Amino acid sequence: MISSPVYNFAAGPGIMPREVLLQAQQELLDWRQSGMSVMEMPFTGEEFQTIMRQARQDLRELLGVPADYRILFLQGGASAQFSLLPMNLLPPGATADYVDTGHWSRKAIEEGSRYARINVAASGADHNYRHVPAQARWQLDPGAGYCHITSNETADGLAYHWLPDTGNVPLVADMTSDFLSRPIAIERFGVIYAGAQKNIGPAGLTIVIIRDDLIQPARPETPSAFSYRVQAESEGRFNTPLTYAVYIAGLVFRWLKRQGGLGAIAERNRRKSDRLYDAIDGSDVYVCPQRAADRSRMNACFHLADASLTTEFLRQARQQGLLNLQGHPAVGGLRASLYNAMPDAGVEALIAFMQAFAARHT
Ligand SMILES: *Cc1c(COP(=O)(O)O)cnc(C)c1O
pLDDT at 2 over 80: no
Q: Is 240 known to sit in a ligand binding site? A: yes
Are 26 and 80 in a shared domain?
A: yes
Are 271 and 253 found together in one domain?
Answer: no
Is position 9 within any domain? no
| Neighbour count for residue 326 (Cβ, 10 Å) | 19
**Residue 323 forms beta bridges with which residues?**
8
Q: Is residue 17 pLDDT above 80, yes or no?
A: yes
Residue 165 sits in the same domain as residue 238:
yes
- The number of distinct structural domains making up the chain is 2
Q: Is 172 in the pocket of ligand 1 (CB under 6 A)?
A: no
Whether residues 178 and 268 share a domain: the answer is: no
157 to 66, 192, 305, 336: CA distances (angstroms): 30, 20, 17, 10
pLDDT value, residue 125: 96
The percent of residues in the chain predicted with pLDDT above 70, rounded, is 99
- The parent domain of residue 39 ranges over 21-258
Q: Are residues 251 and 107 in the same domain?
A: yes
Does 87 share its domain with 232?
yes
CATH number at residue 210: 3.40.640.10
Predicted pLDDT of residue 193: 98
Residue 187: CB atoms within 10 A of its CB come to 11
- 316 plus 300 within the same structural domain: yes
Domain check: are 184 and 115 in the same one?
A: yes
- What's the CATH number where 323 sits? 3.90.1150.10
Distance CA 46, CA 362 (A): 63
Tell me the CA–centroid distance for residue 353 and ligand 1, in Å: 29
Q: Looking at the domain assignment, is residue 1 inside a domain?
A: no
pLDDT for position 236: 85
* pLDDT value for 145: 98
pLDDT at residue 58, as a whole number: 98
**Residue 289 · residue 304 · CB < 8 Å:** no
| Residue 3 within any structural domain of the chain | no
Q: Please report which confidence band the pLDDT of residue 67 belongs to, taking 50, 70 and 90 as the band edges.
A: very high
Reported as a pLDDT band with limits 50, 70 and 90, residue 4 is: confident
Cα–Cα distances in Å, from 288 out to 128, 162, 285, 300, 304?
13, 21, 10, 8, 9
Q: What is the pLDDT of residues 235-268, one digit of tens each?
A: 889 999 999 999 999 999 999 999 999 999 999 9
Tell me the sheet residues that pair with 96.
Answer: 118
Phi-psi category of residue 184: left, alpha or beta, with phi > 0 → left and psi -120 to 50 → alpha = beta
Say if 192 falls within a structural domain. Answer: yes
Give 256 Cα–ligand 1 centroid separation in angstroms: 22
For ligand 1, pick from 99, 100, 101, 154 the residue to mutate: most ligand atoms within 8 Å of CB. 154
Domain identity same for 96 and 196: yes
Probe target for ligand 1 pocket from 74, 75, 79, 206, with the most ligand atoms within 8 Å of CB: 79
C-beta of 12 in contact with ligand 1 (< 6 A): yes
Flag whether 154 is marked binding: yes
- Whether 144 and 288 map to the same domain: the answer is no
Could you say which of 197, 228, 258 is where a domain stops?
258
For the segment 261-306, what is each residue's pLDDT rounded down to a tens digit? 999 999 999 999 999 999 999 999 999 999 999 999 999 999 999 9
Rounded CA-CA distance 3/257 in Å is 32
User: pLDDT by residue (tens digit) across 128-139?
Assistant: 999 999 999 999
The pLDDT mean for the chain works out to 97
SS (H, E, C) the chain: CCCCCCEECCCCCCCCCHHHHHHHHHHCCCCCCCCCCHHHCCCCCHHHHHHHHHHHHHHHHHHCCCCCEEEEEECCHHHHHHHHHHHHHCCCCCEEEEEECCHHHHHHHHHHCCCCEEEEEEECHHHCCCCCCCHHHCCCCCCCCCEEEECEECCCCEECCCCCCCCCCCEEEECCCCCCCCCCCHHHCCEEEEECCCCCCCCCCEEEEEEHHHCCCCCCCCCHHHCHHHHHHHCCCCCCCCHHHHHHHHHHHHHHHHCCHHHHHHHHHHHHHHHHHHHHHCCCCEECCCCHHHECCCEEEEEECCHHHHHHHHHHHHHCCEECCECCCCCCCEEEECCCCCCHHHHHHHHHHHHHHHHHCC
| CA–CA dist 111, 106 (Å, integer) | 9
pLDDT above 90 (res 143): yes
Q: What is the pLDDT of residue 362?
A: 81
pLDDT tens, residue by residue, 191-208 = 999 999 999 999 999 999
Would the annotation count 174 as a binding residue? yes
Kindly state whether residues 295 and 240 are assigned to the same domain.
no
| 287 within domain boundaries | yes
pLDDT > 90 in the chain, percent:
98
Evaluate whether 286 touches 353 at the Cβ level (below 8 Å): no
Question: Is residue 90 in a domain?
Answer: yes
The answer to whether the CB of 174 is under 6 A from ligand 1 is yes
Instruction: Establish if 356 belongs to a structural domain.
Output: yes
* Cα–Cα distance, 47 to 264 (Å, whole number): 31
Domain contains 283: yes
Sign of torsion, CA 130 134 138 143?
positive
In angstroms, what CA-CA distances link 291 with 4, 190, 295, 296? 34, 28, 6, 10
Among 258, 281, 299, identify where a domain stops: 258
Asked if residue 222 has pLDDT above 70, the reply is yes
Cβ-proximal residues to 33 (8 Å cutoff; 6+ apart), any chain: none
**24-37 pLDDT per residue, tens:** 999 999 999 999 99
Residues 195 and 230 in one domain: yes
Domain boundary pick from 258, 287, 307? 258
